[in-house]
Structure formats: structure tokens, C-alpha cells
Amino acid sequence: MDSDSEISLEAPSIINGCQSIVISHDFLRRLEQRKAFEAIEKFKEIKVIAKVVVGTSNDELKEITNSNNRQNPIENWQLFSNEPVHIEIEAALKDIGVFYERQRGKFAAVMRNADNAKYYHATRTTFVRVVDLAQIVSLTRGNIQWAAKPSDVFTNKESHDKCFDRYVVRNPRDIVFTWNLYKALKRGLNKYLELPTHVNSNAPAVFKKPVVRAYMYSIALQYFYQSSSKRYVRSEYSNSLLKIANPRLVDEVQGFFQRTVLKTREWYSEESKDLTLELSKKKTDAFFAGLALELRVDPDGALPFSDKPLDWREYTAI
């Protein structure tokens, strides 16, 4: 209904309609740049129905979000987008110039505006995704089940909170470094398995198994985080996101796979009777624990997303 009254909203959260608002804002800005005053006045006459919910708690806000989205199929991770921990991760990464897309489509909407883009100098046209971060956190902590199937992190609040705890927020450079390294590890393993000595063996079949890959990536992430010989790698790849795996970093991880792939293939082939048997979790845990020990990965040493992280201030001068 027509009314001359106005209300002011302080720090509102938009549940639905973000895309429409961004499109409308861009359209109005173009009208203002062209000084199309008549069109601007017509634009102002457009009436939009909105529902304003005042004084909601975090739990109520999440329930409102869930209820509004039940009409459209959405992925489980999106139901946790307004959890305080994700808002904190978003802020922590923004402080170092990196974008965290805790809501689908937000990166494109925000970065369309040059005034916003200047705050993300280290994001390099890409961003950290929620499900990918859940997988990386799980890998570094050795939670192989969630690492192999990160969607399981979002099946309920208990599993979500166990993964996204206070340690994930504490060190944003942990996120940047492990994010870049994980990209290189995936590309590097695929590249390594394409070598003639492996492509003509059963190695591709062994490492096609998500659990085997998860164990290998888990050890590699811990190794590169701890090893004194990889200090320069940590320094170089912890400052900004890489949209694609860096070729030099991919070459760097080849040395790790030279030490681990053949040994893993031979062990798995023998224990599984040439891939005819599925191996028990106990047996697999024992093998990869031994492999980590050979690589001098210390389970009590520095680890990302833990109470014993690296002090990244030591790397600023490298």
C-alpha cells in the first residue's frame, strides 16, 4: 500500500534476493552514469514486497534461511552459511586479501564492484570454497572418512562443528598455504601417474581409490607443513591464492611422490591380492602411519588447524 513512512535497517542480512539486488544496483548505477534522470525517477516508483524479521538469534536466522530455501533444492553445506564460524573465517581471510565464498554466488556479486574488489588483493580471481575447506581441514587432521567424502561434514551440526572449530579461524595463512598445496598435490599426483613406469602398471587403479588418495594427500600436507627443507615452499605459497596449480609447486611435489607412490602401490597390490580384496581400515592406518614415520612427519609437531600451528610471522622476512 502507498505510504510516506520510512524505516532504517542497521546491518541487515538478506536471505533471498541477493542476485536481484546486485542486478538492480548495477542497472541503477548505469542510469546514474548516463544521467538518465527520467528513467531514475521511474525506477524509484518500482515497489518491492519485503519481509523484515527483527531481533533474530543465530539459530533463528539459520532456521529462517533453511525454511526459505526448502522450496529449492540446495546442498547441505549452504544450510551452515550463517554459522558464526563461517562469518569469522570470511573476515579473517578478508584481512589478508582473500575471498571466502560462504554463500553460493557471493564472489561474483561482490567482485563485480571495483570498490569491493580492492579489499581482495590476494585472492587472484578465485576464492576459498566451504566444502573444499572442509576437505582440506579433514586431510590435515587425518580424518580420512571426511576427507574422502567431505559432504559428510555437513550431515548434521555435530559433525560440522567438529570440523569447523576455533582452530580453523585462528590462522588464515594456514588456509591459504594448504589450499595452494592441495591444488598442486592433486595435479602432481595425476601427472606422476602418467609416467610410463606407472601408467603401464596398476598404480592408476590403486590411486583411483578415494581413501588411498586421501591418505597420501593427508601425509603430504603434514609433511610440507613440517619439513625444515620445505620452509621456502611455505613462505612462497602462503600469501595469496592460486587459481590453478603452480607449475613450480607441482614439480616440487613430484619429489614427494617419488618417495611414496611406488612403495604404496607395491604394498597395496600385495595386501589386496592384486586389487581383488578390500583392505581393512586397521591395516591401511598402520601402513600409512609407518609411511609418515619414514618421512619424519611428527604427529605431535606443528600442524595446521590445531593448537600447534606454525608462527607465520617467522616467514615474512624470507
Neighbours of 205 (CB within 10 A): 14
pLDDT of residue 318: 43
CB 142 within 8 A of CB 305: no
Q: CA-CA distance, 121 to 23, in Å (whole number)?
A: 24
Question: pLDDT 10s digit of each residue in the chain, 318 long?
Answer: 455 667 777 667 676 666 677 677 777 777 788 888 888 888 887 878 777 777 666 666 666 666 665 555 678 999 999 999 999 999 999 999 999 999 999 999 999 888 888 999 999 999 999 999 999 999 999 999 999 999 999 999 999 999 999 999 999 999 999 999 999 999 999 999 999 999 999 999 999 999 999 999 999 999 999 999 999 999 999 999 999 999 999 999 999 999 999 999 999 999 999 999 999 999 999 999 999 999 999 999 999 999 999 999 988 654
Distance of CA 142 to the CA centre of its chain: 16
Distance of CA 120 to the CA centre of its chain: 16
CB 295 within 8 A of CB 259: yes
Q: CA-CA distance, 310 to 193, in Å (whole number)?
A: 31
User: What are the domain boundaries of the chain?
Assistant: 75-318
Residues 6+ apart with CB under 8 A from 40: 28, 31, 32
pLDDT of residue 24: 79
Q: CA-CA distance, 88 to 316, in Å (whole number)?
A: 24
Q: CA-CA distance, 252 to 246, in Å (whole number)?
A: 10
| Count of all residues that appear for the chain in the document | 318
CB 129 within 8 A of CB 99: no
Neighbours of 210 (CB within 10 A): 12
In 3D space, the residue among 121, 248, 110 whose CA is nearest the CA of residue 180 turns out to be 248
